[in-house]
Structures are given as C-alpha cells and as structure tokens.
Amino acid sequence: MTQKTLALIGATGRTGNEVIHAALAQGYQLRVLARDPSKVKVHQDVQIIKGDALDQASLAELIQGADAVVSCLGPSGINQSLKQAKQSAKSWLCSNSTKLLIPLMEDAGIQRLILTTGASLKTPKDKNSLFMRFMLNKLAPLILGEMCHDRQAEYELLTQSQLDWTYARCGGIHFDAKQDQLKVSTTRFQGGKIHPKKLAHFLIDQVTQDKYKSEAVFIASC
C-alpha cells in the first residue's frame, strides 16, 4: 500500500506537535509548513517547508503530493496571553490563509481538509441551551474580538468551497485535560477542555473517515 502524505499547517503549536507524533505513529509521511524550521523535530518522514501560512507560494509548495491537509493554525501566543492573541488576530490569519489554501487544494485535486477552531464558532445546526448560546455566541465574541470574527469568516469560506472539510471546535487545549473519553457533537457544546493528544488523534482519524465531512463539531475530553 502506498504511504499517504499529509500537509500540516500550524505545526509548531501544542496541537500541531501532537499531530506530527500521531501521524507518524499511523504511518503517514508529513509535509510541514514552518516559519522557523528549527522548531520542528527532524524525522525521516517529515519534510519541512520554510514559509508562511499567508504566502500563496509557501502553501502551494506545502500541498504538493499531499493526500489531505490538516490545519492547526491559530493566533500566536493564544496559550500564553489573550492580549497577544488578540493582537495577532487583527491580521485575520486563519481566514486569509484558508482563502489562499482552498483554490490551491481545488486546483491540485486534494479534497480533504481538517481544521481546528474555537468553540465560539456558530453554525445553523447548533442546538445549545440559551445559557450556552449567550456564553459562546454573545459573550465570547465580546472578549475575543477578531479571533471570533476571523473564524466565522473562515467557516463561511469552507461552506462555499468544494472541499470535504471538517472543523473541530475546541475550548481550551490543555495538557491537564482528561484523556479517557472523547466527546463529540455536531450540535451541542461538549465541554471547555481537550487534551492535545486526544485532539490530534481525532484530527488524524478524520483523514480516512467520512462521518464528519462538511461538519463543524464540538469536541472535548474534559
């Protein structure tokens, strides 16, 4: 059987690093985009492309020969400083990167795109309680500002594309979160924490699974 290749964006964060481990453990080859290649562990099955997620040429090089794309892209410093993350989000990093990526993938004939996002992303299928709708869709955007608006714009781009995409909606990504059970729903918030390892394995599993295609799922391991 031919070894499959994944293209990974956002590889140097806590989730991206776990995605690399999970993908290699399942026998994938990886093409990894990094502005600083020294932050990616050297491995014979990992090819590092030095570049930026907002650079079309870098993205085009990244996806060459890939069977699917996984994106763990997010505002820089989001796990250390809300102020720093909000400043980073002013560039609308995620939606602008995905806006470049979608036509590149369509032209290359790559259908599968798996991404991470925050739990505040709103979709027409959501059936949360009145309290959770207030917390996620009213209060969170007030606190997070352009981080939420950026992700909502990215979601709209995905729904208008021809790709088979899956969005993993997460609360906080923490190493102190539980690992024993993964909770997933297409309609209801599942909890405020997820362990990076559990998230990484979910993302990699979606490469070969159809259940959540064209879905933005709430996911947690609290």
CATH 3.30.70.360 is right for the domain spanning 5-220 = no
Task: Label residue 82 exposed, middle or buried (CB < 10 Å: 0-12, 13-18, 19+).
Answer: middle
In angstroms, the Cα distances linking 89 to 84, 108, 129, 132, 136 are: 9, 29, 28, 24, 18
What was the pLDDT predicted at 198? Answer: 95
CA 75 to each of CA 28, 178, 214: distance values in angstroms, whole numbers, following the listed order: 27, 24, 24
- By CB atoms closer than 10 A (0-12, 13-18, 19+), residue 154 is buried
Residue type for 18, please?
E
Contact of 83 with 137, CB cutoff 8 Å:
no
Q: Is the pTM of this model over 0.95?
A: no
Mean pLDDT by 10 residues, the chain (222 residues): 88 93 96 94 94 97 98 76 71 94 98 96 97 95 89 96 97 87 96 95 96 97 86
Q: Is 29 helix (H, G, I), strand (E, B) or coil?
A: strand
Domain boundaries, the chain: 5-220
Q: What is the pLDDT of residue 207?
A: 96
* Distance from C-alpha of 45 to C-alpha of 31, rounded to nearest angstrom: 8
